[in-house]
Amino acid sequence: MSTLRDKVAVVTGAGSGIGRALSLGLARRGARLAISDVDEDTLAETGEMTRGAGATVHLAPLDVSDRASVAGYARSVADHYGVVHHLYNNAGIAGDARPLIETDYEIFERVLSVNLWGVIYGSREFLPHLIASGDGHLVNISSLNGFMGQANMSAYCTSKFGVRGFTEALRAEMRAARHPVRVTVVHPGGVKTNISSAALAAAGDLTLDERARAERRTQVYNEKLFRTTAEQAAKVVLDGVEKGRERILVGPDAKAVDLGVRLVPAAYSRFVAWWERRMFGDPQ
Ligand SMILES: NC(=O)c1ccc[n+]([C@@H]2O[C@H](COP(=O)([O-])OP(=O)(O)OC[C@H]3O[C@@H](n4cnc5c(N)ncnc54)[C@H](O)[C@@H]3O)[C@@H](O)[C@H]2O)c1
C-alpha cells in the first residue's frame, strides 16, 4: 500500500504541467488533496480530474507570491483537514530569457517573487502544520538550473539556486531540531509543459527582433529540450518521496548535467556557452 494513502498533500501551481501531474499521481496513490493555482480555470480542470480519480479535494485560487494570501491559505487548509502532511511547492514561471544587461529589474522581481519568495512563504506558513503532523514532508521544486548556471537565464537560475540553498538549509534545521519533517529538493531537467510558452505569452512589449528570438527559444525548448513528460516527472518525484529521497533528479538531462557540473564546477560554463550559441544562435 502506498505510504501516501490518506496523507493530506498540498500542491501549488496545480493547474498545469508538473503540478497537475503531481496532483493526479497523489490522488491515485490515495492522498487527500489541497490544490491551488493562480489560474482558476485550469485549477478547476485539475480539480475535476483528481476527483475523477477518487480523491477528496480542497480547491482554492492562490498567488504564491502574495504573502498574506499564502498565510491565509495555510490556515484554511489546516482548518479544513485538521492536519497537513505534505507540501509540494511547485508553482513557478520561466520569465524572459535575456542577457542581464537587457533585463529590467521588474523581470527579476517577478521571477524571484514567484519562484523563490513563493517557496519561502509556503514553507514558512505550512511548516508548523507539517511538524505538528508528526510525519511531515516538504518538497520544493528547483530545476537543473538550481545547480547549473545558464546563459540568458540569470533571473531563473538565481531563483532556482535559491530554492536549493533554502531547502538544504531547512533540511539541516529539521534534523538539528529533530523535527519529524523530511525535506526534499527536486531538480527536473526539461519537462514537456506549458512553462516556456507561458513565459512567451506573458512577455511584455518586445521589438520584432526580440519577439523572433523569444519565439525561436520557446520553439527549441518545446521541440528539442523538453523530453520527459509531466506524468513521468511526477512518478519519479512521488516514487522518490515514498522512498524518503531528499534530492531527486528528474530525467537523463538533469543527471548528465549534475555529473558534468561536479566534474568541472567552474569550466562547465565553456560548454554551456558553446551549447547556447549552437541551440539559439549568436546573441545578435
Ligand atoms: N518544465 C520544465 O522543463 C521544468 C524544469 C525544471 C523545473 N521546472 C519547475 O517545475 C515547476 C512547475 O512548472 P511546469 O513546467 O509544470 O510549468 P507550467 O507552466 O506548466 O505550470 C506552472 C503552474 O504554476 C502556476 N503559477 C504561475 N505563477 C503562479 C503564482 N504566482 N501563484 C500560483 N501559481 C502560479 C501556473 O498558472 C501554472 O499552472 C516550476 O517551479 C518550474 O520552474 C520545470
Mutation to probe ligand 1, out of 11, 12, 18 (largest number of atoms < 8 A from CB): 18
- What the block records as the C-alpha cell of 100 is 542581464
Domain boundaries, the chain: 8-280
Across 106-156, the runs of DSSP E, i.e. the strands, are: 136-141
Q: Characterize 184-211 residue by residue with b for buried, 16 or more Cβ atoms within 10 angstroms of its Cβ, and e for exposed.
A: bbbbbbbbbbbbbebbbeebeeeeeeee
Give, for all 284 residues of the chain, the pLDDT tens digit: 899 999 999 999 999 999 999 999 999 999 999 999 999 999 999 999 999 999 999 999 999 999 999 999 999 999 999 999 999 999 999 988 999 999 999 999 999 999 999 999 999 999 999 999 999 999 999 999 999 999 999 999 999 999 999 999 999 999 999 999 999 999 999 999 999 999 999 998 888 988 999 999 999 999 999 999 999 999 999 999 999 999 999 999 999 999 999 999 999 999 999 999 999 987 65
Q: What pLDDT, on the 0 to 100 scale, is given for residue 284?
A: 53
Contact 91, 114 (CB under 8 A): yes
Cα separation, 274 vs 41, in Å, equals 41
Q: What pLDDT, on the 0 to 100 scale, is given for residue 127?
A: 98
Cα separation, 132 vs 20, in Å, equals 27
User: Annotated catalytic, 156?
Assistant: yes
φ, ψ at 186 (rounded to 5°): -110, 130
Q: What pLDDT, on the 0 to 100 scale, is given for residue 283?
A: 62
CB-ligand 1 contact for 228 (6 Å cutoff): no
Contact 95, 72 (CB under 8 A): no
Task: Give the Å distances, CA to CA, from 152 to 106, 145, 170.
Answer: 15, 12, 29
Cα separation, 248 vs 156, in Å, equals 19
Class at the top of the CATH hierarchy for domain 8-280: alpha beta
SS3 at position 8? strand
CB-ligand 1 contact for 156 (6 Å cutoff): no
Q: What pLDDT, on the 0 to 100 scale, is given for residue 1?
A: 85
Determine the distance from the C-alpha atom of residue 223 to the mean position of all C-alpha atoms in its chain, rounded to a whole number: 21
Q: What pLDDT, on the 0 to 100 scale, is given for residue 244?
A: 97
If you take atom 7 of ligand 1, which residue's CA is the nearest one?
Answer: 143
Q: Is the pTM of this model over 0.85?
A: yes
Chain length of the chain: 284
Fill in the amino acid letter for 185: V
CB-ligand 1 contact for 250 (6 Å cutoff): no
Contact 166, 141 (CB under 8 A): no
Mutation to probe ligand 1, out of 195, 196, 218, 249 (largest number of atoms < 8 A from CB): 195
